[in-house]
Each structure stands twice: as structure tokens, then as C-alpha cells.
Chain A
């Protein structure tokens, strides 16, 4: 197959980029969920500021 190197590079770079991006989402998710209250050994209750997330600040 002519130009095999360019074709292989195109397909491999695409696959590697998508896989790396998907893995980065997974890693970031693990880091964030570790800090959520249901996953932290915190005894104090989380105080509410009285604002819902959808109200403009």
C-alpha cells in the first residue's frame, strides 16, 4: 500500500488522541469525586448559603 506511513499515522494519532482525551476525563472525574462530601470523612454538616445554583449571583 502506497503512503502507508501517512495513513497509519493518521489513524493512530486519531485513536491515541481520542483515547487520551477519554482517559483525561476519567482521571479528572476521579479527582473531583474524591472531594465530594459523600466521599470525604467530614462530620460537620455542609452549611447552605441560601442560594440555589440557578439563581444569578
Chain B
């Protein structure tokens, strides 16, 4: 890990921790309760930023995959970045669903419903879970990178479907609060500010996690190359036996 990467990880980590504390204070104390939903609406400040972070993570995965597939920019670094970002996206998609379910229970009276937004989000979760599983299939690095890149780009098609599902279909889930077709935010004042702070803080959290996960991916890649080299050279039979176990 380079010194600049280590420094970036530390700085983003500190900013993220401070931001999380500020967001918690704003979301739980400063922001007023909703006129209709009451205090349950405070779950918006963890649910919506989690969804935003998942969209961002999958966008980075798709963009990195495109850059990998273009011959001029082809590099296993893009593949490592794609995989790292997708893993973070899967974690936050799960959090979006869980936080959304906890919000739905007091407001809708149910934990889950077969609503277009919920179903397409669940599909998004399983698509990228499948992508992560595909990345673990043994094979040459570039062959694995190529098939993963194609899957990542196809799976990204579900992201706009998730976002527009509440506009295309009649849903229990509310319409977009900020990124609606008129680009006219439906909340104002402290609530809007708190939501924007949440989005900003989650973005910093994403950057921090991405830097760390990318560093791990590069280290794993280097270890794999070294184990393979030792195995082929026959230097150490014990190491050679380790290669077949991932």
C-alpha cells in the first residue's frame, strides 16, 4: 500500500466518523418529525443515503468494467476496482432493504410487499450477489475480468429501473423526494439539509471503504501471482499445494 493511499484512507476515515456523528445528531435531534409519519420518518436519513451509495457503487463498478473492456485502457486495476465497489454496493443494498423494512413496519403496517420499488431493489441485490459469486469462479485473471465486466454492465441496467419504478408503476413506495422528473425537492428546510448531509457523509464513507477494499483486492491479486509463481517453479511443494485452495 502506498503512502498516499494510506494517508487517504486515514483522512477519509476521520472525516467519515465526524460526519456520521453530525448526521446522527441532525437526524435524531435537530430535524423535526414528519407531520404525517411522525418520528418514524427519521429512518429516511439512513435509508435514502444507503440507496444513493448503492447506486454510486454500482455506477463505479459499471464504469470500471467499461474501462477494462476497452483495449486501450485495459488493466486488471479496473477489474479490482469494479469488484471492490460491487461488494460495497451489495452491503448497502442490503442495508437499504433492511432500513426500508424497519421504516415500512410502523408506516405501512407491513415488513414487506411485492411493490415495484421493493422487488426491483431485491433483484438488484441478487444480481450483484451473483456478480460477486461469478468473480470467485477459478480461472485466468483476464478471463475472469472479462466475464465479470460484461455481467456488471448488464446488471447496471436495473439501477435506473429501480429509481424510475415508482414513476412507471403504481406503487406503495413514495415518489422520489429529491431526484423526481421535475427536479423539485418535496421536502424543505432542515429535513432537506439533513438528507443532503446524509448523502454527503455516506459518499465519504463509500470512498473510505472503497480505498480499503481496493487495497485488499490488489494485495490478494499480488499474493495469487506469487503463489502461482512459486508453485510453477517447484520451489516449495507446500506452497504449491496451497495454490489450489483459494
Residues of A within 8 A of B (CB): 1-4, 6-7, 9-11, 13-15, 17-18, 21-22, 25-26, 28-29, 32-33, 35-37, 42, 44, 46-49, 53-54, 56-57
Name the contact of B40 in the complex, choosing from A6, A14, A22 (C-beta under 8 A).
A6
In whole angstroms, how far apart are the Cα atoms of A46 and B236 in the complex?
Answer: 11
Q: Decide yes or no whether B178 CB sits under 8 A from chain A.
A: no
Q: Decide yes or no whether B170 CB sits under 8 A from chain A.
A: no
* CB <8 Å contact, B219 and A53: no
Chain B stretch 28-84: residues in CB contact (< 8 A) with chain A:
28, 38-40, 42-43, 46-47, 50, 74-76
Residues of B within 8 A of A (CB): 20, 24, 28, 38-40, 42-43, 46-47, 50, 74-76, 88, 91, 94-95, 98-99, 102-103, 105-106, 140-143, 205, 209, 212-213, 215-216, 219-223, 225-230, 232-233, 235-236
In whole angstroms, how far apart are the Cα atoms of A3 and B215 in the complex?
Answer: 41
* CB <8 Å contact, A2 and B40: yes
For chain B, what secondary structure do more than half of its interface residues adopt (helix, strand, loop), or is it mixed? helix
* CB <8 Å contact, A6 and B103: yes
Q: Look across to chain B and name the residue whose beta carbon is closest to the beta carbon of A35.
A: B223
* CB <8 Å contact, A2 and B50: no
* CB <8 Å contact, B103 and A53: no
For chain A, what secondary structure do more than half of its interface residues adopt (helix, strand, loop), or is it mixed? helix
In whole angstroms, how far apart are the Cα atoms of A4 and B227 in the complex?
Answer: 52
Q: Look across to chain B and name the residue whose beta carbon is closest to the beta carbon of A22.
A: B209
In the complex with contacts A10-B47, A11-B24, A44-B236, A53-B212 CB distance below 8 A: no
